Amino acid sequence: MTAPRDRYHKMLNTTRWRKLRALHLARHPFCADCAAEGVVTPATEVHHIRPVSIERDPARMERLAFDAGNLAGLCHACHVKRHERMGKGTAEENARRQRAEADLFARRFYGTQTPGGCFSATGAPS
Ligand SMILES: [Zn+2]
C-alpha cells in the first residue's frame, strides 16, 4: 500500500497537476498572502490550503489535490511560511486552522464583492 505522502508526490508529477497549476498561476498571478498584507508579489508556487496527504482514501486525496477551490497561489517565501505554520501543533489544531484559513480566503476573495461591482462604472453611455 502506498503511503499518502508518496501518493501525493506522484500526483504532483502528473500532467494533470502541471496543467492545473499553470492555469491557477495564470488566473491568480499574485501571491495571496502578500496581497493580504497589501504587497504585490508574483505567485510562483501553488499551495494546497487543505493538505492532500491528510486524506487516507485515494479518491478523496485526488479530489482535494485537483480542487481549484483548495489552491492558493503564493510566492516562495509565503509558501515556506505556510508550511512552517502547518508543521507546528497537533493534527487537530492544523485541521482547524486550515479550515479557518480556507474560510478567510473564500470570504476575502469571493464573499465581499458584489457581482459587477468593479465594472459597473465603466463605459455604457446612457
Ligand atoms: Zn508572498
Helix orientation angle between 4-11 and 58-65, rounded to the nearest 10 degrees: 40
| Residue 102 forms part of a structural domain | yes
> Considering its fold, how many domains does the chain have in total?
1
Centre of ligand 1 to C-alpha 18, Å, is: 21
Angle at 45 between CA 52 and CA 8, to 5 degrees: 25
| Residue 124 forms part of a structural domain | no
CB-based contacts of 115: which residues, under 8 Å, 6+ apart? none
CB crowding 102-111: b at 16 or more within 10 Å, else e:
eeebeeeeee
Centre of ligand 1 to C-alpha 105, Å, is: 14
Q: How many CB atoms lie within 10 A of CB 7?
A: 18
| Residue 115 forms part of a structural domain | no
Q: Which domain holds residue 41?
A: 4-109
pLDDT of residue 115: 42
Residues 14, 38: Cα–Cα separation, whole Å: 34
| Residue 60 forms part of a structural domain | yes
Residues 91, 28: Cα–Cα separation, whole Å: 29
Centre of ligand 1 to C-alpha 86, Å, is: 16
| Residue 83 forms part of a structural domain | yes
Element (H or E) spanning 92, and its range? helix 91-106
Centre of ligand 1 to C-alpha 48, Å, is: 15
| Residue 77 forms part of a structural domain | yes
**pLDDT per 10-residue tile (average), the chain, 126 residues:** 82 96 97 97 96 90 95 97 79 68 71 43 44
pLDDT of residue 117: 36
Centre of ligand 1 to C-alpha 42, Å, is: 8
CB-based contacts of 64: which residues, under 8 Å, 6+ apart? 48, 50, 51, 52, 55, 70
pLDDT of residue 45: 97
| Residue 116 forms part of a structural domain | no
| Residue 126 forms part of a structural domain | no
pLDDT of residue 62: 94
